[in-house]
Amino acid sequence: MRFVMALLQQLRPWRLRLWLAFGLFAAQLVLTLALLPLAARLETVFTGKLTLTGMAGLLTVICGVYLCRHGLEYAQKCLLEWLAGRWVLQLRQQAFAAIFARDWLWLRRQSPEHLLTVLTDDLQVLRQALVALLHRFMPSLLLLAVLLGAASWLAWQLMLLLLLTAPLLSGLLRLLSQRLQRQAHQQQNALDGVMAELNDTLQQRSLIQLYGLVSWRLQRLQHSHQQWFSASWRTICWREAERPLMGSLQVLAMALLLGISVWLVQQGVLTLPALLAFAAALALAVDPALWLAESRAQLLVAQASWERLQQLLAVPAETIAVQPVYAGEAVQLVDGQLTGTETATLYDLQLDFVPAPGQRWLVQGPSGAGKSTLLHLLAARLPLSAGDLIWPEAWAALFSPVVLVPQKAGFFDLSLRDNLCLGQPCTQAQLEDVLAVCQLTALVSSLPQGLETPLGPGAQRLSGGEQQRLAIARALLLAPRLLLLDEATSELDAETERRLLDALQQARPEICCLVVSHRAGSLHFWDGVWQVKEGQVALKGAV
């Protein structure tokens, strides 16, 4: 019930359309109830009181009522499909916002396959469940209540007999519900495994071909697929068991009622018109009962998807990146502590650094000391368990005052221009300028379509060094005041790295650079060194 109420609360933005859908159902309900007195009039057919013309008219009215019901049902289904589609679109947008509200470390820990499954398969399951809830479950429940109420008024003796089977039906449905929920969770977890294996295999396709690992990977894929197939097959079996179970119980109940109703008519307790109307009510209740069982099974399966989505939408405070405070003229960390991560732990950070224009600072330290973590913290991409991050007050009006370039830059399967601009307006002059600074002009000229050349998945047509220079060019378009290069030149040789940093200093004198590099001995032009060791940061003078 809580799951159903949660779904209904999500539909508040479209409550007018929701009321329209219920209005269409109410019209169907009125037409359904109109069939009961029409069915009672069929008694005149058996007694010979109705002429052939009258019988044709009666059947025409009954057929007309059915046609109107189906037309209203079609309109309701189309409206609810539109409503479900809009709702899923909103959920997907909320999920994207929740994903990118997290910090850098949370994003690193998450499996892309799991996120993809939630954003596609789980949302599709929820879409179907919402349509089932509004188009089948709730209308069928209300229709059954009305029809059974009418049947009780027509022949309470027969309804009392039906109610005696309720405990048996309730127990069977409870057993099916428990099994179905358990199987739905197992199915979704198995699907995560399939997605992970497929993604890992496709990403390492070159390695697989190089070492002849096709058979090994196929065995792993077959194993994960078999687990998913078994889990989904069990889910289907338990889900589909409800419909034949309900149908079988209905047949048994109808057979029992038929025998007793004939006896009641013979005893004069029940009239023939009342029996015909009662039979019509039960006949009209067959489809709603089956729809109720079927949609209930869909809702039970969807509950697992809803729980996974809610886990994604719930953003714990400890995973939200720190929000910098704008004050003074320095970049400061005051009593900063970053703990509970799978990388380095930084504690009691007291950092007071004035990012003077044109300066270049080297960040050094042993592997795992926290160099990358420190840069991500300065870029406000990590949460602080204690303390504050302060940026200069003059940066408050800037779009991106601090930009971080990681060692492995990401690229979309788009053109070179699109990968540089990233959805922001860029002039041709701006692009040519940053390409010249990063020594990429000749490369762009050699491409078949220049800036419009598609880079392909992962920018595979570019070398590692070209990708790193392209990532730095992209960062320059954001006009930062503090540029953080986290081994962003590791694919370049020492001479190319030196020329790039010199060109950057000359073309962008307003930028201060913090550079994590392992080639400090080959470069002598640093203004100072940040030494990161055992969770502490020490600032030294010029090299």
Judged against a pLDDT cut of 90, whether residue 472 lies above it is answered with: yes
For residue 136, pLDDT beyond 80: yes
pLDDT at position 438 is 92
What pLDDT is recorded for position 43? 63
User: With bands split at pLDDT 50, 70 and 90, how would you rate the model's confidence at 483?
Assistant: very high
**Mean pLDDT, range 63-92, rounded to an integer:** 89
Distance CA 75, CA 72 (A): 5
Please indicate whether residue 203 or residue 460 has the higher confidence score (pLDDT). 460
Write out the two tokens for 240: 């589909």
Confidence (pLDDT) at 476: 92
Express each pLDDT in 387-411 by its tens digit: 788 888 888 888 888 999 988 888 8
Q: How confident is the model at residue 49 (pLDDT cuts 50, 70, 90)?
A: low
Grade residue 543 by pLDDT with cuts at 50, 70 and 90.
very low
Query: What was the pLDDT predicted at 469?
Result: 92
Beta strands across the sheet bearing 536-540 = 402-405, 482-486, 512-516, 360-364, 528-533, 536-540
Q: Read off the tokens for 542.
A: 């010029």
The class that CATH gives domain 2-192+234-316 is mainly alpha
Give the span between the Cα atoms of 151 and 155, in whole angstroms: 6
Instruction: Give 465's DSSP letter.
Output: H
CA distance 279 to 287: 14
Amino acid identity, position 69: R
Q: What are phi and psi of 367, to 5 degrees?
A: -60, 135
How many angstroms separate the CA atoms of 484 and 375, rounded?
7
Residue 512 scores a pLDDT above 80: yes
Q: Is the pLDDT reported for residue 502 higher than 50? A: yes
Per-residue confidence at 541, pLDDT binned at 50, 70, 90?
A: low
Q: How far is 279 from 36, CA to CA, in rounded Å?
A: 9
pLDDT at 56: 78
* Under 8 Å between Cβ of 497 and 527: no
Residue 231 has pLDDT above 80, yes or no: yes
Q: What is the DSSP string of 352-419?
A: EE---TT-EEEEE--TTSSHHHHHHHHTT-S--SEEEEEE-GGGGG-S-SEEEE-SS----SSBHHHH
Nearest in space to 534 (alpha carbons), one of 398, 374, 391: 374
Q: Is 366 exposed, middle or buried (0-12, 13-18, 19+ CB in 10 A)?
A: exposed
Q: Examine the pLDDT at 269 and tell me if it is beyond 80.
A: no
What's the pLDDT at 524? 64
Question: 2-192+234-316 with 325-540: one CATH topology?
Answer: no
Task: Give residue-wise pLDDT tens across range 329-380.
Answer: 888 877 766 655 555 556 666 777 888 888 888 888 888 777 888 888 888 8
Give start and end residues of each alpha helix (H) in 137-204: 138-154, 156-163, 166-203
What ranges do the domains of the chain cover?
2-192+234-316, 325-540
Distance of CA 227 to the CA centre of its chain: 23
The mean pLDDT value for 72-98 works out to 89
The domain made up of 325-540 is a member of CATH 3.30.70.20: no
How high does pLDDT run on average in the chain?
Answer: 81
Q: Is 427 exposed, middle or buried (0-12, 13-18, 19+ CB in 10 A)?
A: exposed
Task: Give me the pLDDT at residue 428, please.
Answer: 92
CA distance 265 to 399: 84
Residue 1: its pLDDT value, please? 66
* Phi, then psi, of 370 in degrees rounded to 5: 115, 20
Instruction: Report the predicted TM-score, pTM, of the whole model to 2 decimal places.
Output: 0.71
Per the structure block, which two tokens stand in for 290? 């089956």
Q: Which of 290, 526, 282, 515 is nearest to 405 (CA)?
A: 515
- Lowest-confidence range among 26-30, 131-135, 342-346, 498-502? 342-346
Angle between helices 15-40 and 138-154 (to 10 degrees): 30
CA distance 454 to 460: 10
Q: How far apart, in whole angstroms, are the C-alpha atoms of residue 443 and residue 451?
A: 10
